[in-house]
Amino acid sequence: MAKETKKSFASLPKPIDLTAPDAPEGAKRGRRNVPEFDAVPVGMPRENAETRRIPPPPPPPLRPGDFPKKRRPSKSAPPPRLRPRRKNRLIQRLIGFRINPLILSVVGWSVAGIAIIAFSVWFIRGLLVDNAYAVFLDGEHVGYIAIFEGLTSEDFHNEAVLSLEAIHRNVRVRVDQRVTIERTRTAARNREARGDIIARINHHGFTFTIAAHAIYVNGVQEALLSTQSDLNHVEFMLQEHWRNEHTVSAEFVGNWEVRTMYVCPDETEFDTPDSAYFRLDRSTMQLADYTVVSGDTLDRIAVHFGTTTTRIMEDNNMQTANIWPGDTLLIYTQMPLLSVRTFDEIHDDEAIEAPIENRYNVDMPLGTRTVIQDGMAGLARVTERITRINGVEQSREILEAEVVVEPIPDIVEYGVGE
């Protein structure tokens, strides 16, 4: 049997002190500082016990008709301590002064009101105001496009026609349909791009004819070209034979005519510029009139026209080869199908003879002569226009004569005295 040992007072738990501790310095006045006690099971050390906070007792129940009364502070009680002032926010620090909360509230509500009004106006406008154009081709609906300020039916029709001309190498077209637009409302998913609507009209809507250029020579159609650029190229190549470095312009003589006609591009065969050029650049036997100018000889004229001296003499019933300026010769030779008249401008410098000024002096013996001043010729720049047909000069005209250097006269003095 184990021996019982006596327990000393030191091993027993310390008694609980129920006296109120002294209030620490700086505690609130008028209120007791009651320590919080924990319930510790008997016989268990405080260090190992689980602490549990004891809740305060519930308030007494109120009867019907009773209301809790506010506790009025006593006159002797000190005023309540105010909360510490908060530091300024970042915006207030930046602007340097404290913003009144009332002003912030008013501004915030004003901004919110304006936003609500703007959203309402936008929403009502979307419900009531037109937001698209309906496109029609001869009254048949094609699609919808977005609203464009200032867009009219005429502008949209012309834009579609220009797009059609660009597709067909910038030819001039004539369409039989009419494109119109009307303001309407539709959902955004129904609206298409402007270019897509125009492309649909060009490929599946328009029936058109193009302006072709027919070339007639002596009343006979020789070529049919589809564009103006092709026509300009053929004209330049035909005139290039007779141009030189002084040529300013050229034209076809008499038998050249260009007519514009509208044809269906799918049913018409057009000439290329090269085929039209070779067809128009051929020669034919023609009888030409030639006027003899100064310096011409019969051999020179024959070489120029690609014939012989004998053939020229036979055609003109000439007995000798003598010719004079102003004579007209009939020359039957190979001539180009198209006659080209060129205009050349030549700038040439010509000398101006020095004038002679005669003076008479009674103090000099009769029959004597004295040169007082030696003269010097001047210089003039002359602009002439020369007209040629198929390279043969027809006329010459002075357009302008500008004196560059004035001539200095010769002054000669003659004696008429005794």
DSSP state of 376: B
213 near 314, Cβ under 8 Å?
no
Question: Which alpha helices (H) appear in 1-100, and where do they start and end?
Answer: 90-95
Rounded Cα distance between 408 and 373, Å, is 9
Token look-up 């609130």 returns: 28
pLDDT digits (tens, 9 = 90+) for 77-129: 566 665 655 555 665 565 555 667 777 788 888 899 999 998 887 777 666 56
Positions of the chain with pLDDT under 70: 1-53, 64-99, 125-129
148 CB-near residues (< 8 Å, 6+ apart): 133, 194
**β-bridge pairing 191-192 and 140-146:** parallel
340 near 238, Cβ under 8 Å?
yes
211 CB-near residues (< 8 Å, 6+ apart): 171, 172, 173, 174, 260, 261, 262
**β-bridge pairing 356-365 and 340-352:** unpaired
Question: Which alpha helices (H) appear in 100-152, and where do they start and end?
Answer: 101-128
Rounded Cα distance between 20 and 338, Å, is 137
Q: How far is CA 338 from CA 236, 252, 287, in A?
A: 13, 7, 14
Q: What are phi and psi of 171, to 5 degrees?
A: -80, 160
> Residue 401: what pLDDT?
85
* pTM tops 0.85: no
> Residue 37: what pLDDT?
46
- Dihedral sign (CA 231, 232, 237, 240): positive
> Residue 92: what pLDDT?
58
416 CB-near residues (< 8 Å, 6+ apart): 360, 361, 362, 364, 366
Most distant pair of Cα atoms in the chain: their distance: 200
